[in-house]
Amino acid sequence: MNGFFKFLLFARIRFSLAGRGGVYFYAVLAGMLSAAIALAFQFATRLILETLTGADGAGTVSSFLQIPPWRRIFSLAAGGAAAGGILLFAAKRIRKSPTPYMEAVSIGNGYIPVRANLLRSAAAIVTIGSGASIGREGPLVQTAAVFASMAGRRLNMSTPRLRLLVACSAAGAMAAVFHAPMAGALFVCEIVIGIMSMDMLAPLLVASCASYLTICAVGNPSPLYEISGAYLEINAQTALLSALLGAAASLLANLWLACLAKCRRLFNRRAELLPLRLAVAGVAVGAIAAYYPEVAGNGAHIIRGLVSMNFSLGDVSAVLALKIFSVAIFFGMGAVGGVLTPSLTIGGVFGFIFAQLLALAGAPLGTEEIIGFSLLGMAAFFTTAAAAPLTSLMLVLEFTMAGRMIFPLIIGVLVSHAVSRLARAKSMYAAEAAGGVKSAFNKPLKDVKVGDLFRKSDNTVAPTTLFRSVAKIFLKNPDFAVYVVSRSNRYLGGILRGDVLAFARSGALSENVIADDIMRSDIPTLSPDTGIIDGVKAFSENPAAEEMPMVEADGKFYGIVNRGDIFMAFAEISARSKFGG
């Protein structure tokens, strides 16, 4: 065995991706991939907008202001009809349903069908690019998750690692959209996974930061709505008003969720009418945009208008009602898009109205206080809409950089969350995270088997395989062991990574060694039907084992279970059982 081959073998084994380091390595890649997809998604929607409007504005509203009213209607109607056509084609030609990424991570096994979801993403790009009153974060995150799921399957990842890779891509996409790495990770932990632990949060934060760094390197790194001037004085009166606004925003969010659900039931029935329905929605919203172009797009323009105090009380009240109608009709008709930014917009407008009414009642409010109540309305409204108080708090703080608002935001968010719990409100993401076929991660702990967590392994050799061939397998995939099987796939034993290194140092001897000479038959094994609790005990009793082979009752080799995977799954499923997730 020549020296260069030995060097490659030693280096490859030392830098294996099978352990915890591999989790963070793939988290970085997922974050960078998500950022690239976010930039491509943004470019595609801008291209559609320029094509339909003929304007070169930086955003939807600015483009609509450059074109006559009839073209605003045409843009929205044409985009709706085209998107409906794509969705209809997908429904008729593709049998697999487009699994939402939330379902794939929350209760699924990380698998997301490619073609069905990419067609939905294409429909979303057309809808958003035409100026529809929906957000882009939902389909953008879904697109990133599709590519992550596809890559993870190509890499033969186990179920726990595939789910985590998809979750990392979602966190990275959220960080790229909102320039908020902490909120992106919290969004996935709190809303999608449903539990909060450092084992889950750490790789999500790595992915979010990698995504944000990528955006900073190639795009605009500044906060979306930098509002350093927002401030509410810390006193008992502010605490009382913050609690009042939090409760009121929660009640409005409940009405908003009921409105969305009612519109879905009322309008979204016959799939063959999708192109017509979305065209009608485009005409309706286009007619409104002819007089109020602010209702077009995801609502970012409205948020910036609130910050710069460009709206009067009458104007902003009309915009609130029209925005709610515009978002509801598009979603009711079956459009694919996000609801996060529209929810923040509605909450911000409600907070602005609350502050203006206080000012009319004689409260001495300046610009800082009015903007502060607007931010408070955003966070409180989204807390109930998404059932995510921590994400709401951090998201508003990160994309505004209004750190001085932390005290009233905490009060408003907590009160909003309490009211939503009392009202038993369901999150707007509840349906996405609860449907479909449940995986091991949504079973009681006692029902989970190690066979639910295994990974197929090609690291098998015959007893007569030469040592050099065994070493080449470790060079390609430096797992804990290579397993020796008979021609009928009966498990015989394993060759440990450390043993290969020891034999590699003896060049003359290694040329004559075969697998049977260095095989160990005392490696602990697991059965596919072994419970996860017994599996954890087996790894605890064998601290040196990074993985264990799974062997069926008839002696056939089944696959491998990784130590990190089984402990990660055990921690998550235990937490779900404890907190009723």
* pLDDT digit string, tens, across residues 494-544: 988 878 777 777 665 566 788 888 899 888 999 999 999 999 999 999 988
| pLDDT surpasses 70 at 377 | yes
Query: Which long-range contacts link 574-577 to residues 24+ away (Cβ below 8 Å)?
Result: 574/445, 575/195, 575/197, 576/194, 576/195, 576/441, 576/442, 577/444, 577/445
* Residue 484: strand pairing partners: 461, 493
> How far apart, in whole angstroms, are the C-alpha atoms of residue 193 and residue 140?
18
Distances (CA, A) of 476 to 470, 482, 549: 10, 12, 19
Average predicted confidence (pLDDT) for the chain: 86
On the CB side of 95, CA atoms within 13 Å amount to 0
**pLDDT score at 6:** 60
Tell me which residue has tokens 């016959």: 270
**pLDDT score at 384:** 94
Would you place residue 469 in the very low, low, confident or very high pLDDT band (cuts 50, 70, 90)? confident
**pLDDT score at 215:** 93
The average pLDDT across 357-374 equals: 89
Distances (CA, A) of 413 to 181, 191, 227: 20, 15, 19
Asked if 79 and 289 count as a contact pair (C-beta separation under 8 A), the reply is: no
> How far apart, in whole angstroms, are the C-alpha atoms of residue 56 and residue 355?
35
**pLDDT score at 173:** 95
Identify which has the larger pLDDT, 314 or 557: 557
Distances (CA, A) of 39 to 101, 186, 364, 447: 20, 22, 43, 43
Name the nearest CA neighbour of 288 among 56, 5, 72, 119. Answer: 72
The average pLDDT across 404-428 equals: 91
Identify which has the larger pLDDT, 510 or 86: 86
- % pLDDT > 90, the chain: 41
All domains of the chain in start order, with CATH: 18-220 (1.10.3080.10), 236-434 (1.10.3080.10), 445-579 (3.10.580.10)
Tell me which residue has tokens 């050799």: 461
Quickly count: other Cβ atoms within 10 Å of residue 324's Cβ. Answer: 21
> How far apart, in whole angstroms, are the C-alpha atoms of residue 249 and residue 137?
22
Tell me which residue has tokens 């976010």: 38
What pLDDT digit, counting tens, does each position of 159-194 carry? 888 889 999 999 999 999 999 999 999 999 888 887
Tell me which residue has tokens 């719990």: 421
pTM higher than the cut 0.95: no
Structure tokens at 569: 């799954």
Asked if 94 and 68 count as a contact pair (C-beta separation under 8 A), the reply is: no
Structure tokens at 332: 């009711």
| pLDDT surpasses 90 at 203 | yes
Phi-psi domain of 308 (left: phi exceeds 0; alpha: psi -120 through 50; beta: other)? alpha
Would you place residue 57 in the very low, low, confident or very high pLDDT band (cuts 50, 70, 90)? low
What pLDDT digit, counting tens, does each position of 87-126 carry? 888 888 777 667 777 777 766 777 888 888 899 999 999 9
> How far apart, in whole angstroms, are the C-alpha atoms of residue 220 and residue 6?
46
Quickly count: other Cβ atoms within 10 Å of residue 306's Cβ. Answer: 26
What pLDDT digit, counting tens, does each position of 294-348 carry? 889 888 888 887 777 677 788 888 888 999 999 999 888 888 888 888 999 999 9
> How far apart, in whole angstroms, are the C-alpha atoms of residue 124 and residue 350?
27
